[in-house]
Amino acid sequence: MEISINEVQKMTSPNPFALITSGTGEKSNIMALSWWTFVSNKPPMMAICLSKKGYTHELIDETGEFGFHLIGNEYQEMAMKCGRCSGRNTDKVKEFGFLLQDADVIGTKLIDRYKIALECKVVSSMEASDHWLYIAEIVKIHSGNTGEQLFAWEGYRYLDTITNVQESR
């Protein structure tokens, strides 16, 4: 029996959910992301995969950097909204009430509350059909302590914590 890639993605959920920041100044943007992974420890590096249709990859191409945030459940509603619109047409920072702060190493701002925030500099990128794959060095790691970690369930159907999903079963 053959199934679609969308069905496979639902079957491999949950995925740790993140928000990434990109751009600088008036072009600051926030994007919902669950297609990411760590790829090296020394130096610490990660990979993210972004749609060619999206605005975020254009901003990352301009600056060569991004902020990566594992976030707590207090951002659940705002994070879902980030995944439902493009930063090309919506100022997500202002529209959804995010507060940003300066990063230590990169020019891209960071979300003000997080469980983990990573400052990342792109070292390589490649076309992956309808997406771009970026490999970035993690140049600074920040630890926060806000809420329970969000996960993307059944693909991107909904965001929730492991605890909430277990309690509802």
Handedness of CA 124, 64, 40, 33 (dihedral sign): negative
What is the domain partition of the chain in residue ranges? 5-167
Q: 5-167 has which CATH code? A: 2.30.110.10
pLDDT value for 59: 96
Strands of the sheet with 44-51, listed across from one edge: 29-33, 18-22, 65-70, 116-128, 131-143, 44-51, 36-41
What pLDDT, on the 0 to 100 scale, is given for residue 123? 98
pLDDT tens, residue order, the chain (169 aa): 999 988 888 888 788 899 999 998 888 999 999 889 999 999 999 999 999 998 999 999 999 999 999 999 999 899 989 888 888 999 999 999 999 999 999 999 999 999 999 999 999 999 999 999 999 999 999 999 778 889 888 877 888 888 888 777 6
Q: How far apart are CA 145 and CA 55, in angstroms?
A: 29
- The pLDDT assigned to 154 comes to 82
pLDDT of residue 26: 82
Whole-number pLDDT of residue 122:
98
Please, is 95 exposed, middle or buried when counting C-beta atoms within 10 Å of its C-beta (0-12, 13-18, 19+)? middle
3-state helix, strand, coil in the chain (%, to 5): 25, 40, 35
**Cut 0.85: pTM above it:** yes
Please count the other Cβ atoms lying within 10 Å of the Cβ belonging to residue 44: 16
User: What is residue 85's predicted lDDT score, i.e. its pLDDT?
Assistant: 86
**pLDDT for the residue numbered 169:** 64
